[in-house]
Amino acid sequence: MSSLKTSRTPRRIVAFGTRAKDAAAQGVHGAREWAAPRLEDAADAVTASVAPRVSSALRSTARQVRPEGTRSGLRRLLSWRWLLGAGAAVVAAGAAAALAMRRRYASATAEVRDDAGSPGDEAAPAPQPAAEPATPSEANGTRVSKSRT
């Protein structure tokens, strides 16, 4: 009798294992069906609420970690040292232009004085004050007359 029991035992163990495997597969499948929508809802909630906070925390940390010397783009252009240098260059250019214009005016005035005082030229008569016109004059297409009061 003991040999009969021993021959059935492996079959029972195999059958029990097969049933356990099927039950476990059904349980895992059911657990996955239950968990999937909840995980999707959790993902949506994290994306809407936690993700912006995590993003801003990462950006803040990046700003703190970034070394001072590596500014790029507009920040580099608007640094106070660059603006001071550009302002000094503009002032220097303006001063040079003003000096050149003054020298040009002075040389042109000196030329006119030299030409007027040269012995070969006739002296121009002194300008006479203009007499008042006897007739009314026109300004901007309309007749204007002087009224004496």
Provide the pLDDT for residue 100: 95
pLDDT, tens digit (0-9, with 9 covering 90-100), for 94-121: 999 999 999 999 999 988 888 887 555 4
User: How many Cα atoms within 13 Å fall on the side-chain side of residue 116?
Assistant: 9
Q: How far is CA 85 from the centre of its chain?
A: 21
Q: How far is CA 9 from the centre of its chain?
A: 80
pTM for the full predicted model: 0.30
Provide the pLDDT for residue 73: 67
CB 82 within 8 A of CB 73: no
Cβ count near 71 (within 10 Å): 13
Low-confidence ranges of the chain (pLDDT < 50): 1, 121
Cβ count near 135 (within 10 Å): 7
Provide the pLDDT for residue 97: 96
CB 137 within 8 A of CB 130: no
For the chain, the structural domain boundaries read 1-66, 80-115
Query: Which element (helix H / strand E) includes 69?
Result: none
Rounded distance between C-alpha atoms, residue 149 and residue 136, angstroms: 16
Rounded distance between C-alpha atoms, residue 37 and residue 13, angstroms: 37
